[in-house]
Amino acid sequence: MAKSGLAFHVNQNKLVEFCDDYDVLLDCIKSTRPLDERKLCLRLLKMIPKDKIPGKDSILWKACMKAVEDYEKAENAYVGTWKVYMKGRHDCAWESWMGAEDIYYMVRHVYNKAWESYLDAYAVELEKLHKELCPNCPWDGHSIFPMKI
């Protein structure tokens, strides 16, 4: 199974999004979700097989994959410069971290826009695929935990 890629129910309030590390996400669910929610979260988290990804040959998908690559680089630079700053607390390290932070937020904006465009363009196909891969899913369009009246 893929360790990163497009997945259903990475978060309880989003139908589909990019999962950067499946194993880390599983550990997070097992260690942080309330006990009464864990079983459902684990059942519904589904990596979408690469051969079933809608529009996987499209320019939108390629833009998303490039955005993921750029986002990871920016995030690593941001975290790395913060660690350098925290070790020495030098003014030059502070300036490097602030520059990395600016770049990180710009790249994150591009990342979010790329995914928004892809998800909008392939919403119908993704909903159909969701029904196939997540049978008996309580997703109500907002959450896997519909509000109880």
Instruction: Please give the C-alpha separations between residue 1 and each of 22, 50, 89, 120, in angstroms, as whole numbers.
Output: 9, 10, 42, 26
For 28-69, what is each residue's pLDDT tens digit?
Answer: 999 999 999 999 999 999 999 999 999 999 999 999 999 999
Amino acid at 117: S
CA distance 1 to 105: 31
Instruction: Give yes or no for residue 148 having a pLDDT over 60.
Output: no
pLDDT of residue 90: 64
CA distance 128 to 105: 33
pTM of the model: 0.83
pLDDT of residue 149: 44
Instruction: Give yes or no for residue 129 having a pLDDT over 80.
Output: yes
Instruction: Please give the C-alpha separations between residue 23 and each of 9, 43, 67, 100, in angstroms, as whole numbers.
Output: 14, 14, 22, 28
Residue 87 confidence class, pLDDT cut points 50, 70, 90: confident
Quote the tokens at residue 9: 């129910």
- Torsion angles phi and psi, residue 8, rounded to 5: -90, 140
pLDDT of residue 51: 96
